[in-house]
A and B are shown apart, each in its own frame.
Chain A
């Protein structure tokens, strides 16, 4: 049974249940207009949906009922007992058919004519003849129509699977929200208990158990709030069809990943942005067939909706193969609408210009159409998505098409964050925006932070990174401790790249976001507050707002935009070139989380796998060149590059880090197929370390309780 039918069944059953209640009540209050309206609605809904799903018996029956109820509702008829019993029988009839659909997938056979006639007679008998008594003929039809016999086939098929209606339950969204809040509280309490550091082994064990149960419970409650994106996607075929007809375009809609699930409230929140984006794609993106043919494209445009999960985000993409966005036109429009000055526009790179379409009041439509072009749109899309902690990315190639990517967090309430310290106060920095961390000693602060007039800058791998000192931004007047170093958190907030300078780092934590009161929201730099594991509170920093406040512009460097564009074209990627023993190897830069120097004594072994205890977890180490093999001094230090491999983190032992460079892909001679595992780096063929080939630790070792035993 498909999703639509299942939903219809549930809805119809509920409608009938309501109808039953109302009908019995109606007997006592025949004049109650509200009750009548309610019953009418139930039947009307069933009729509407059945017509659509092609259940003709249901449709004709409910249609007859609807007619009678319409007269009653409009006060043209007065309810009497006959009508109520007829309506109750109608209801039973509908129930039987619904049951048949649920069990055998079709409406089954049955005679509805008598029932329909009876309803018809009641409807007209009343208006024609004043008398409310049913005539003899009518009485007879009543008998004919009774009893409703279930279709023969269904009696023989006992329902094997659990009935859809019985296995689901509608739950008030408020209740779910409350449960989510309570789970949030439980997570906080758990964090506090885990940090309580009790010496009693029994307690620790219990705490671990609590930890796991809490995690499971959280997942279950979150699951309860999940709905497949098909709930939103399902309305697009119609929309696309209507729009393309209206605009004389030919559009084929392709949808992927409809089963991807997303929190209900988030799903609601992306409904409008998605609709906007789809409208935009059809109106502005896809060209009319003639233009497409002239450009050598399929006259039928392709609009692709795709949803998939990526880590803790769900990505929803709207891709069209239309004309793409002309950067020049955006610039001209933006100047024309006085959104930016011509002078400023000259300084902007392509990527920045593309971002201009997110400005309020921007629209490039030549004329205002029914569909779009009223200057509301992309800014609304961005605002709505950012409101739920998501991001919007746009990618467009003139002549090729446009991809709009909505990056939506899986859940609203709990986010991973890094706790940073500024002048003895803790703040939570959402991990989503965090790219890397750089530690500077007091000495390095003096020598490596450069000043361009009043603007502090740091050379990160040869590129200047604008810095924002958190304590200055927050006007914290205390002095830093003497001789203290600092950390630069390299952030990328909505395409703005900058380094946030903080005094220290504490733990990574999964934090529960608590909203701030309006007064504090107005400060504009904090997106909420949270209670940390140690029971203290921390304000959650909003990287985007900080960037805006510090006037960090969108990645200003034209060069970088071009470099990125080039990467997209040729599949080039940046690599970290490392030396391990006698071997040189490349690590994909995008996967590198950080580079640590650790004493050899910190490395432990499980079986033959070297592991490193890393932020409370076990990090499997890959020692591909065998530099760990000759038993090194316990004091000797080695370098570990911590990389991301899908969900897990792995460490690569290297002797030294050499350089960062762009690597080109190589094709095997005579073929177009790319050789995996090597790259052309600085004119030399270098092998790329395959992170996924690093063996996972046995699952039992990852279990927290076991971990305790191994580690402790």
Chain B
């Protein structure tokens, strides 16, 4: 689905600007605002009990019980190498390849609408890790909204 969105963005750029707006859920991690296409989010949970997994890769935030399944949770903070913990993180649930997974963020913000016209690809100065995680940036009036593609945050993907 997200791949479809991207192509839509591409198409929007190539063709005359249309009024295709994309609804993004904004989330905060560290100082950065990230946007996740709202359609890709299955559910936003408060701060469910999380079980840490010894010996797991550092970006794994732990396990969460979600509707009878055991969710593997990715910590966006750890993934970006931002040290320390904020207050108990919020959790977003996505459908990954074959199974659901969770994403821990510092806080979930409001839903924003962005226009493909404001989209730009990752700046070349970003480090490789971020380049591989971020899907580009939307210019907001007073800030930048970094687009996240849930498919790239899938723990299966990250493990490779």
Interaction A to B: yes
- Chain A residues with a Cβ under 8 A of chain B: 181-182, 184-185, 188, 425, 474-476, 514-520, 522-523, 525-526, 528-529, 531, 535-539
Chain B residue numbers with a CB within 8 Å of A181 are 68
Q: A424 to chain B: closest CB distance in Å? A: 10
17 contacts between A and B (CB under 8 A): A182-B68, A425-B51, A425-B52, A425-B54, A474-B54, A475-B54, A475-B55, A515-B70, A517-B101, A518-B156, A519-B159, A522-B159, A528-B70, A529-B51, A537-B51, A539-B51, A539-B54
Q: A557 to chain B: closest CB distance in Å? A: 30
Tell me which residues from 47 to 71 in chain B have a Cβ below 8 Å from any Cβ of chain A: 49, 51-57, 60, 63-65, 68-70
Q: B64 to chain A: closest CB distance in Å? A: 8
Given A188-B68, A517-B155, A518-B156, 20 extra CB contacts under 8 A = A425-B51, A425-B54, A474-B55, A475-B55, A476-B54, A517-B72, A518-B155, A518-B159, A519-B56, A519-B57, A519-B155, A520-B60, A522-B159, A523-B54, A531-B65, A536-B49, A537-B63, A537-B64, A539-B51, A539-B63
Chain A residue numbers with a CB within 8 Å of B57 are 519
Q: B57 to chain A: closest CB distance in Å? A: 7
Are B56 and A520 in contact, CB atoms less than 8 angstroms apart? yes
Q: With an 8 A cutoff between CB atoms, is B120 at the interface?
A: no
In Å, the complex CA distance between A536 and B49 comes to 7
Tell me which residues from 142 to 159 in chain B have a Cβ below 8 Å from any Cβ of chain A: 155-156, 158-159
Interface size of B in residues (CB-CB distance below 8 Å): 22
Assuming the contacts A475-B54, A476-B54, A522-B159, asked whether A516 and B72 have C-beta atoms less than 8 A apart, the reply is yes
Are B54 and A519 in contact, CB atoms less than 8 angstroms apart? no
Are A519 and B55 in contact, CB atoms less than 8 angstroms apart? no
Assuming the contacts A536-B49, A537-B51, asked whether A519 and B158 have C-beta atoms less than 8 A apart, the reply is yes
Q: With an 8 A cutoff between CB atoms, is B99 at the interface?
A: yes
Which partner residue on chain B sits nearest A523 by CB separation? B55
Are B53 and A523 in contact, CB atoms less than 8 angstroms apart? yes
In Å, the complex CA distance between A514 and B71 comes to 10
Which partner residue on chain B sits nearest A516 by CB separation? B70
Chain A residue numbers with a CB within 8 Å of B64 are 537
Provide the main secondary structure of the chain B interface.
mixed
Give the residue among A476, A529, A531, A537 with the most B Cβ atoms within 10 A: A537
Chain B residue numbers with a CB within 8 Å of A536 are 49, 51
Are B159 and A529 in contact, CB atoms less than 8 angstroms apart? no
Are B70 and A537 in contact, CB atoms less than 8 angstroms apart? yes
Assuming the contacts A517-B155, A523-B53, A529-B63, asked whether A184 and B99 have C-beta atoms less than 8 A apart, the reply is no
Provide the main secondary structure of the chain A interface.
mixed
Which partner residue on chain A sits nearest B155 by CB separation? A519
Chain A residue numbers with a CB within 8 Å of B72 are 516-517, 519-520
Give the residue among B54, B156, B158, B159 with the most A Cβ atoms within 10 A: B54
In Å, the complex CA distance between A520 and B101 comes to 12
In Å, the complex CA distance between A522 and B53 comes to 12
Give the residue among A519, A520, A526 with the most B Cβ atoms within 10 A: A519
Are B68 and A184 in contact, CB atoms less than 8 angstroms apart? yes
Which partner residue on chain B sits nearest A528 by CB separation? B70
Chain B residue numbers with a CB within 8 Å of A475 are 54-55
Assuming the contacts A425-B52, A517-B99, A518-B159, asked whether A185 and B68 have C-beta atoms less than 8 A apart, the reply is yes
Q: Which of A182, A184, A519, A525 is within 8 Å of B60, CB to CB?
A: A519
In Å, the complex CA distance between A539 and B101 comes to 17
Chain A residue numbers with a CB within 8 Å of B68 are 181-182, 184-185, 188
Interface string of B27-64 (1 = CB under 8 A from A): 00000000000000000000001011111110010011
- Chain B residues with a Cβ under 8 A of chain A: 49, 51-57, 60, 63-65, 68-70, 72, 99, 101, 155-156, 158-159
Chain B residue numbers with a CB within 8 Å of A515 are 70
In Å, the complex CA distance between A539 and B56 comes to 12
Q: Which of B55, B56, B65 is within 8 Å of A537, CB to CB?
A: B65
Chain A residue numbers with a CB within 8 Å of B55 are 474-475, 523, 525
Which partner residue on chain A sits nearest B59 by CB separation? A519
Give the residue among B51, B53, B60 with the most A Cβ atoms within 10 A: B53
Q: Which of A474, A514, A525, A535 is within 8 Å of B70, CB to CB?
A: A514
Which partner residue on chain B sits nearest A185 by CB separation? B68
In Å, the complex CA distance between A336 and B101 comes to 48
Which partner residue on chain A sits nearest B51 by CB separation? A537
Q: A534 to chain B: closest CB distance in Å? A: 10
Which partner residue on chain B sits nearest A529 by CB separation? B70
Q: B133 to chain A: closest CB distance in Å? A: 16
Chain A residue numbers with a CB within 8 Å of B63 are 520, 529, 537, 539
In Å, the complex CA distance between A525 and B101 comes to 21
In Å, the complex CA distance between A526 and B72 comes to 14
Q: Which of A425, A514, A520, A539 is within 8 Å of B69, CB to CB?
A: A514
In Å, the complex CA distance between A476 and B60 comes to 16
Q: Which of B52, B70, B156 is within 8 Å of A519, CB to CB?
A: B156
Q: A429 to chain B: closest CB distance in Å? A: 15
**Those 6 A-B pairs whose CB atoms lie nearest each other, nearest first:** A474-B54, A517-B72, A537-B51, A514-B70, A519-B155, A529-B70
In Å, the complex CA distance between A107 and B139 comes to 81
In Å, the complex CA distance between A536 and B55 comes to 19
Which partner residue on chain A sits nearest B99 by CB separation? A517
Chain B residue numbers with a CB within 8 Å of A539 are 51, 53-54, 63
Which partner residue on chain B sits nearest A515 by CB separation? B70
Are A523 and B56 in contact, CB atoms less than 8 angstroms apart? yes
In Å, the complex CA distance between A188 and B55 comes to 27
Chain B residue numbers with a CB within 8 Å of A516 are 70, 72
Which partner residue on chain B sits nearest A539 by CB separation? B53
In Å, the complex CA distance between A476 and B54 comes to 7
Q: B93 to chain A: closest CB distance in Å? A: 13
In Å, the complex CA distance between A184 and B70 comes to 13
Chain A residue numbers with a CB within 8 Å of B99 are 517
In Å, the complex CA distance between A538 and B52 comes to 9
In Å, the complex CA distance between A538 and B99 comes to 19
In Å, the complex CA distance between A526 and B54 comes to 10
In Å, the complex CA distance between A693 and B156 comes to 56
Chain B residue numbers with a CB within 8 Å of A531 are 65, 70
In Å, the complex CA distance between A524 and B41 comes to 30
Are A535 and B56 in contact, CB atoms less than 8 angstroms apart? no
Q: A428 to chain B: closest CB distance in Å? A: 12
Chain B residue numbers with a CB within 8 Å of A474 are 54-55
Q: B30 to chain A: closest CB distance in Å? A: 23
In Å, the complex CA distance between A525 and B156 comes to 18
Q: Which of B51, B54, B158, B159 is within 8 Å of A538, CB to CB?
A: B51
Q: A106 to chain B: closest CB distance in Å? A: 51
Which partner residue on chain B sits nearest A188 by CB separation? B68
In Å, the complex CA distance between A525 and B52 comes to 14
In Å, the complex CA distance between A531 and B52 comes to 14
Chain B residue numbers with a CB within 8 Å of A523 are 53-56
In Å, the complex CA distance between A529 and B54 comes to 13
Which partner residue on chain B sits nearest A474 by CB separation? B54
In Å, the complex CA distance between A182 and B101 comes to 20
In Å, the complex CA distance between A474 and B156 comes to 22
Give the residue among B70, B155, B156, B158 with the most A Cβ atoms within 10 A: B70
In Å, the complex CA distance between A519 and B157 comes to 9
Chain A residue numbers with a CB within 8 Å of B51 are 425, 529, 536-539
In Å, the complex CA distance between A514 and B60 comes to 18
